[in-house]
Amino acid sequence: MIIAVDGPTASGKGTIAKALAAHFGLPHLDTGLLYRAVGVMAVRLGGDPDNADEALAGCAFDDALLADEHLRSEMAGGLASRASRHPAVRAALLERQRAFAGQPAGAVLDGRDIGTVIAPGAEAKLFVTASVAARAARRFNEMVRRGEQVTLAEIAADLAARDARDSSRAVAPLKPASDALLLDTSDLTIGQAVQRAIELVNSRAEGGSSARP
């Protein structure tokens, strides 16, 4: 079974995807880390993620970079949003993601275009969302715990800017798949959101599945 979990930054999709993978015994891939690695690598090479060719050069990152905690930073998230706008970058990472999704037993992938581009035939698709205010508060608390100096207003503005970039890009924009099940986590605890996600996946599995990609 392939489970696609899409949604904007700080909506809870990553936490939900990991929980779903553990519950159903499936491997999990946070595809956002791939784009964060591209953005960070592009900068380390002296490039600009807004430049298509320089962002593409960042796709040559070593897998070891995916374990770098720096990829979890707000800076890396912003670089990922900028680099991911380029069609060449998305094409370079496409097969890598599809290969992960195509494992015999299935997989859980979270990102922004899993249900629409990477695994359009996934048996279960969730689109996880939350208000900007709720997402900003969550991200602010995470960053404060890590000792980063930020303000809530800065984070909210950054999230809004990322949403605009991700939703308006020409290739694979952030949007729910036509058959995705929506899950708004604005007023849910982590436990409640995970339980609801499991219920939604089970309902889709019991109701019949679509074709695999």
Quote the pLDDT of residue 208. Answer: 55
Domain membership of residue 146 as a residue range: 2-205
Smallest CA-to-CA distance from 175 within 111, 119, 90 is with 111
DSSP state, 73?
A: S
Each residue's pLDDT tens digit, 125-147 = 999 999 999 999 999 998 899 88
Q: How many domains does the chain have?
A: 1
Supply 172's token pair: 């694979």
Helix (H, G, I), strand (E, B) or coil at 209: coil
Distant-in-sequence, close-in-space partners of 15: CB < 8 Å, separation ≥ 6: 190, 193, 194
How far apart, in whole angstroms, are the C-alpha atoms of residue 46 and residue 54? 8
CATH code assigned at 138? 3.40.50.300
Stated pTM of the model? 0.86
CA-CA distance, 66 to 155, in Å (whole number)?
A: 23
Give a yes or no: residue 10 inside a domain. Answer: yes
pLDDT of residue 212: 37
Alpha carbon separation from 133 to 12, 117, 175, 176, 182 (Å, rounded):
13, 28, 19, 20, 18
pLDDT for the residue numbered 209 = 45
DSSP 114-137: IIIII-TT-SEEEEEE--HHHHHH
- What pLDDT, on the 0 to 100 scale, is given for residue 98? 95
Token digits of residue 24: 């159903």
Q: What is the pLDDT along the chain (213 residues), one digit of tens a residue?
A: 999 999 998 999 999 999 999 999 999 999 999 999 999 999 999 999 999 999 999 999 998 999 999 998 888 989 999 999 999 999 999 989 999 999 999 999 999 999 999 999 999 999 999 999 999 999 999 889 988 888 999 999 999 998 998 898 888 889 999 999 999 999 999 999 999 999 999 998 887 544 333
Contact status, residue 145 vs residue 139, Cβ threshold 8 Å: no
The answer to whether position 64 is within a domain reads yes
Does 188 fall in a domain?
yes
What pLDDT is recorded for position 213? 37
Give residue-wise pLDDT tens across range 137-173: 999 998 899 888 889 999 999 999 989 988 988 888 8
Q: Which amino acid is at 197?
A: A
Q: Is residue 211 part of a domain?
A: no
Domain assignment present for 212: no
**Per-residue model confidence (pLDDT) at position 13:** 96
